Structure 1
Amino acid sequence: MTDRALFSVAGIRTEQMHAAPPKRRRKFPFLPLTFLCLILLGCAFAGLWTAKDPSYLDLANYSKAPDAEFLFGTDTLGRDIFSCIWYGGRVSLLIGFAATALSTAIAILYGSVSGMAPVRLDGILMRLTEVFLSVPSLLTAIFIQAILGEATVFSISLVIGVTSWCSIAKIVRTEVRQIRNSEYVVASKCMGGGFFHVLRWHLAPNFVSSIMFMVVMNVRSAIVAESTLSFMGIGLPLDVISWGSMLSLSEDALLTRAWWMVLIPGAFLISVLMCLTALGNWLRKNVNQKESNL
């Protein structure tokens, strides 16, 4: 081997040694996702493996500590907390997913209209969004719920959904403005494609990955909002069992030192929120990594 060949090989090895290490993909959160799926399955099929009726008021065993008969104890109304956890999880998770579906639909429609609109109309729509964002969503939810009257699962989902779409709409608007003049979008419009056709086949596939993180986090925020409203006494009534309505009894529980009424529903709620946070962070890191590699 000649001297020139040796120098070239050495140069290649030096460049390889100083090259930036490849970016590792964030590990998929198998454990949080598995736990979340177990919670979802447990709530969905609660009737198959819970022996007690969650709405039965066993006044002879109210505020009873966990034992062999009542695994998680009973609350101040005599209801079995173990059964209430799984049946109440249905309501809390249903509100979380329903409110998120509504807020995502509003955000996609509003953000796409703003992104495709002329500059002046786009500016007006974005100013309205910023005004809406400047008002705390909890106050807006309380105001709307007061107008609707008695809280139900439908009304709570509606209230949370219509107050939590602004952040996603701003991202959708930004993504749409970047791709609205692309050749395939212009060609689709020239061939007679309407707004919803262009949105379904050309716009949405390009921004859906960018909003998945916020969609998952909106599920978490909706569950927290339902729990907060119930804790404040303006959410679901006590006869509609949810994790939030169970926590609304925490004041009586603390006065009687019945820790299980607060700890057990709170532990399930926090665990689900942590699982959703882990999944959302994984989606955010992967989207950012893909954008940096482009």
Structure 2
Amino acid sequence: MAERTDEQFRIVGANYKTYTPKKQRPSFWVKWKGKPFFSMIVLAAIVLCCIFAGYLSHHDPSDFYLENLNEAPNASYYFGTDSLGRDIYSMIWYGGRVSIMIGMLSMVIITVIGVTYGCISGMAGAKIDAMMMRFAEILNSIPSLLLLLLLASIMGKQDIWKISFVIGVTGWFALARIVRSEVRQIRNSEYVLAARCMGASFPHVMQKHLIPNFISAILFVVISSISTSMSMESTLSFLGLGLPTHIISWGSMLSLANRALLSNTWWVIMIPGVFLLVTLLAITNIGNYFRKEVNRKASNL
């Protein structure tokens, strides 16, 4: 059998050129496929409207228009008025500022406590780690609403900072467990051991070597804590332990729900409830996207 050579398979012809296929860039829709595009637009629109509330509102949200009590939505009051004669349309945007600010502040407190506590527990010895985790599990076994009610009643009259602190110090337990499990997996890595052998302090190791390696794993919990904090603030306000009436938030607006049910003014409950629900769903959807991305990357490893 004749031996095959390269000459038998050489392509010949006039003006022959090799064809190199061009790499096609993914289109805009392919690039954004699967991303919570709609949720990001809705959330950005609500946040921007709350930031520029002064340009959108045409009534003072804290003024009492006593001649227009419990008015249904109309041309003058787009979302109607409540039992105190306040313009709900203006209150929505100014109240959104407070609710979103409480969610962000609580998220920062939850993240700082949870990450620090989880890193310390993960880097500590077996006995200290067990004690710290048992303490966190005991606190986590207590219903969060019960802890919130206890701390809120102890701290007295609430404001934005107090209620953010109360929500933050009662919501870090789940985050601490996740951080602790991640740190236990990477604490014996070469770069961590090298940093500790060179005398690096614990804050340096945590900032430079631990947090960058588990930040993607906790993004879902961190983002979801914003929506959880906003819903907790609404719950406390509904139970009468939230923000006072003169501090407008979506939660304090919903605290008037019992009066609205008695007077059959559906817009007092429906409109702030819809804004709160849409915002929470948008934040949760964005958090779910980050969780799926982390799981997808982990499965590809």
Q: TM-score, normalised by structure 1?
A: 0.91
- Gap runs ≥5 in structure 1: 1-23
Q: Which residue of 1 aligns with 2:19?
A: none
- Is 1:197 aligned to residue 204 of structure 2? yes
Q: Deviations over 1:168-219 (max 9, x none)?
A: 0000000001000100001111112100000011000011100000111111
- Is 1:151 aligned to residue 158 of structure 2? yes
Moved over 6 A (4+): none
Q: Which residue of 2 aligns with 1:67?
A: 74
* Structure 1 Cα separation of the partners of residues 33 and 100 of structure 2: 27
- Is 1:280 aligned to residue 251 of structure 2? no
Q: Which residue of 2 aligns with 1:134?
A: 141
Alignment length (residue pairs)? 271
- Is 1:110 aligned to residue 142 of structure 2? no
**Larger radius of gyration between Structure 1 and Structure 2:** 2
Partner letter of residue 202 of structure 2?
F
1:247 to 242, 254, 262: 254
User: Are the structure 2 counterparts of residues 25 and 265 from structure 1 closer, same or farther at C-alpha, using a change threshold of 3 Å?
Assistant: closer
- Percent identity reads 50
* Structure 1 Cα separation of the partners of residues 181 and 32 of structure 2: 26
1:78 to 55, 78, 85: 85
1:290 to 284, 288, 297: 297
Is the CA contact 1:115–1:177 (under 8 Å) kept in the aligned structure 2?
Answer: yes
Q: Which residue of 1 aligns with 2:100?
A: 93
Is the CA contact 1:26–1:285 (under 8 Å) kept in the aligned structure 2?
Answer: no
- Cα distance, 1:49 vs. partner? 2.2
Q: Which residue of 1 aligns with 2:25?
A: none
* Structure 1 Cα separation of the partners of residues 97 and 56 of structure 2: 15
Q: Which residue of 2 aligns with 1:184?
A: 191
- Cα distance, 1:25 vs. partner? 9.7
- Cα distance, 1:164 vs. partner? 0.2
Q: Which residue of 2 aligns with 1:42?
A: 49
Partner letter of residue 232 of structure 2?
A
* Structure 2 Cα separation of the partners of residues 229 and 45 of structure 1: 27
Partner letter of residue 34 of structure 1?
I
- Cα distance, 1:77 vs. partner? 0.5
* Structure 2 Cα separation of the partners of residues 31 and 266 of structure 1: 20
Q: Deviations over 1:7-64 (max 9, x none)?
A: xxxxxxxxxxxxxxxxx99711010111000100110110122121100011110100
